[in-house]
């Protein structure tokens, strides 16, 4: 979800950050676009943008870990996510986009049991179509 227009916007992103185990990340991104569509109107359909913000990670222990250690708990961690991308405006209600994101987790661990969040890192290549209703 993104809020804001012009040069600066704020977004919230919730989703899995690992495909092979139960996990969730919640990120709050500051989204900066250049040049602003309000300044140039329809002259600049191609817009580069950057995003940066904190991310909160929640990792549930997998089935094997829970079987071997019933005390295994969910691990929580903080990290940062940064990204850069391009948007190509097709019409006022649809946009093609491509984005590269880097996610890094911190060394903090909030619970004494469970896995450390230090191994949280990732590189994502996202692309698609945004449609406004």
Torsion angle of the four alpha carbons 119, 123, 128, 133, in this order, in degrees rounded to the nearest 10: 50
> Using one digit for the tens of pLDDT, what is the confidence trace for 42-79?
556 788 999 999 988 777 766 566 666 666 677 777 88
Q: What is the pLDDT of residue 35?
A: 67
- Given a cut of 50, the residues of the chain with pLDDT beneath it are 1, 108-111, 115, 117-118
Separation between Cα atoms, residue 40 and residue 50, nearest integer Å: 19
Q: What is the pTM of this model?
A: 0.65
CB within 8 Å of 106: residues ≥ 6 apart: 77, 78, 79, 80, 117, 118
Q: What is the pLDDT of residue 61?
A: 64
**What are the residue ranges spanned by the domains of the chain?**
2-131
CATH fold of 2-131 reads: Porin (2.40.160)
Q: What is the pLDDT of residue 98?
A: 95
């Amino acid at each position: 979800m993104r809020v804001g227009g012009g040069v600066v916007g704020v977004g919230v992103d919730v989703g899995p950050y690992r495909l092979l185990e139960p996990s969730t990340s919640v990120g709050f991104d500051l989204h900066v676009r250049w040049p602003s569509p309000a300044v140039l109107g329809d002259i600049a359909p191609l817009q580069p943008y950057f995003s940066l913000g904190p991310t909160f990670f929640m990792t549930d222990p997998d089935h094997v870990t829970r079987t071997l250690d019933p005390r295994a708990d969910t691990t929580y961690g903080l990290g940062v996510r940064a990204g850069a991308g391009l948007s190509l405006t097709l019409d006022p209600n649809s946009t093609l986009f491509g984005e590269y994101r880097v996610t890094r987790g911190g060394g903090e661990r909030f619970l004494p049991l469970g896995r450390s969040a230090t191994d949280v890192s990732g590189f994502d290549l996202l692309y698609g179509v945004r449609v406004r209703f």
